[in-house]
A and B are shown apart, each in its own frame.
Chain A
Amino acid sequence: MTDLTDVPKTPADLGVAPEPPMRLLGEDGELLAGAADAGITAELTRGLYRDMVLARQFDQDAFNLQRQGELGLWLSCRGQEAAQVGSIRAVRASDHVFPSYREHAAALCRGLEPAELLTQWRGTAHGGWDPSGYRFHLYSLVLSTQLLHATGYALGVAADRRREPGVDEIVLCYFGDGAASQGDANEALNWAAVTGAPLVFFCQNNQWAISTPSAAQSRTPLHVRAAGFGLTATVVDGNDVLAVHAATAAAAARVRAGGPPEFIEAITYRMAGHSTSDDPTRYRDAEEVRRWEERDPVTRVRRLLDARGWAGEEFHTALKEEATALSEATRAACRALAPPPLEDTFRHTLVEETAALRAERERYTAWRESFA
């Protein structure tokens, strides 16, 4: 159990000891001290479990679709379901979320359609959904850019709050341990801390940035660094959905009440390769993966549900059916995703198409139609 704190490795002489990660659920599915205070109930646990199961199903389908040539690429979130479901379920639907690019489980919880999540990877759009409608921003492929967007958005919320005291939204922003090395991440953490932006930064430390381990990416644990910027920092076992939920809910409540921005480091693990183009066997050993499989976030909750008798056969059967239906819907939706006409791109480049864009679009259309 202690090896969760082994990563990232901190030289003792650095004098900054990482906090042990907060946990409510033991690896064998037992509730730990503090679970009662955190308001853990059978209903909450069942809900989080359901979301994780559906996310895993969706992720597996998308992965398979990539292998079948239906998607160009897929970045699996397998292993990170607890970090994502636990965190997004702890904020309100009215809170604005800025994801990185692997937050499929969080996105599904937000109500995004499978097809919308597959669009980019199938190559039919660079976005795929209405970011304002879902209050879930488009994925950010340039690492860390979204931390600044989240900070700016949160500053806007703070400005609104000054005008209308009733405004109590907050912003939730996801990013990875590798992304934390970018300049933008450091500008954003500092900027948010200095301005007191109503924001929860949520770092999924999944141990790897493609082939670079966290320990090679940062000499200090990330939550220690965040605290250094002046953010309230928490480290949580990212494979413990109950702890993630409780930690995020607490952080969100403090921020909502006007407290300084918060930083949560969730210690988790990316079970699949970085992407479907990646070969993780070249840089990590099977033993490491096996050790993390033992801490699988989904089976861990299943053990709790079984041990406590919180979910009967009926629940599991219904969930299985729901997962099957999602799977079928995902596959059908994926195959139905057709490329939009290139004309759209000309129309959406600026708010109003300029004469130059219109002329170019017409040239393109005429050229294409000359083949018809």
Chain B
Amino acid sequence: MSTTAEVPAGELTLGAALNAGLRQAMADDESVILVGEDIGALGGVFRVTDGLRAEFGDHRVIDSLLAESGIVGTAIGLALRGYRPVCEIQFDGFVYPAFDQIVSQLAKLRARSGGRLRIPVTIRIPCGGGIGAVEHHSESNEAYFCHTAGLRVVACASPADAHWMIQQAIACDDPVIFYEPKRRYWDKAPVEPGPVPADAPALDQARIARAGADVTVIAYGPAVRVALDAATVAESEGRSLEVIDLRSLSPLDFGTLTASVRKTGRVVVVHEAPTFCGLGAEIAAEITERCFHLLEAPVQRVGGWNTPYPPARTEEHYLPDLDRVLDAVDGTYQY
């Protein structure tokens, strides 16, 4: 992982932007503590917590035991005691041992208490493929958590946004599942480290990453870059794509989505997770209900195949790429 020193002034990698966001959140609020496997001296396997232990001490940057249910379960207890734990799950595929604590406990305690309890726990999960990893290191499991009411699920896609979103997630009084696109950790862009500016989009708002007129391409996390690249190519072919970075996967910002569909009448949803019962299915259904009369074509989905995530040497055929996105864009003109 690059450190801030290795990138041009004003530019940060997404990983460094998250690191700066965590630092800001910890400086702003004493009750923020980080918990996770190897996040202390090592700075996490992706170095997102690099240097934070040296700065805030080992009582606030805690190397957890090797037990995911324990990480989330004890975070719930810490939150009940007034702390704001930020958990790091080392890889997407290792969140399942904590599944019960997340969906049955974390998500439900507020409702169960009749609105009396607040459980401000943030669970950071590096997500998605594209880094040539071994099994269980490339998964997109957002649909499991989006299906559970009581959780907010968000995914960052760009350095500046990651910097703000992590602070917003930590400040949020609801539990937040925070997805970090691991193959974008090294992407660089200008970031002004500091508190979230007043005009930054709220945690549950989508963002128009690129304005366009002909087709709305909805993406999140690692797929936003793919959608933007597709838009660049499409432009040279005379088509104007509007790319929406969802940011919030639950709740979904249908205001922004339907406003875009009103302009374009054509929609493509892109994500890495398998399309079957994936977020794209929900988006397609909801847009169809809301905008049936505006649509020129059925909503197209581009996603991972409905198979387990494949071995690294084949992942380029699994992950939605620019060509598959453009193909789906073409598809919306076939009606």
Contacts and interface: CB of A to CB of B under 8 A. Distances in A.
Contact of A159 (B59, B97, B105): B59
A149 B83 CA distance: 13
Contact of A151 (B74, B108, B115, B254): B74
A261 to B, nearest CB: 13
Interface residues of B, number: 46
A155 B150 CA distance: 25
Contacts of B111: 126, 345, 348-349
B116 A131 contact: yes
A23 B135 CA distance: 54
Nearest to B85: A152
Contacts of B104: 142, 145
Contact of A130 (B72, B79, B113, B172): B113
Most interface-central of B73, B80, B97, B104 (chain A CB within 10 A) = B73
Given A150-B77, A153-B77, A188 B251 contact: no
Interface string B2-19: 000000000000000000
Interface in B73-127: 73-83, 85, 97, 100-101, 104-105, 108-118
Interface stretch (A214-222, A246-254, A350-358): A350-358
Given A145-B100, A149-B76, A150-B77, A184 B116 contact: no
Contacts of A154: 77
Given A131-B117, A350-B152, A355-B255, A152 B82 contact: no
B69 A184 contact: yes
A128 to B, nearest CB: 9
A344 interface: yes
Contact of A155 (B78, B113, B204, B252): B78
A137 B105 CA distance: 12
B65 interface: yes
- Would you list the 6 A-B pairs with minimal beta carbon distance, nearest first? A152-B77, A148-B73, A156-B81, A152-B74, A153-B77, A348-B115
B78 A132 contact: no
A345 B112 CA distance: 9
A75 B116 CA distance: 25
B70 interface: yes
A191 interface: yes
Contacts of B54: none
Interface in A166-203: 183-184, 187-188, 190-191, 194
Given A149-B74, A152-B75, A357-B251, 15 more contacts: A138-B112, A145-B100, A147-B73, A148-B76, A148-B77, A149-B73, A152-B77, A152-B81, A156-B78, A156-B80, A159-B33, A159-B59, A190-B67, A349-B110, A356-B254
A348 B114 contact: yes
Interface string A329-347: 0000000000010001101
Most interface-central of B74, B82, B150, B174 (chain A CB within 10 A) = B74
A125 interface: yes
Interface string B37-69: 000000000000000000000010000010101
B73 A152 contact: yes
Most interface-central of B33, B78, B118 (chain A CB within 10 A) = B78
Contacts of A357: 251
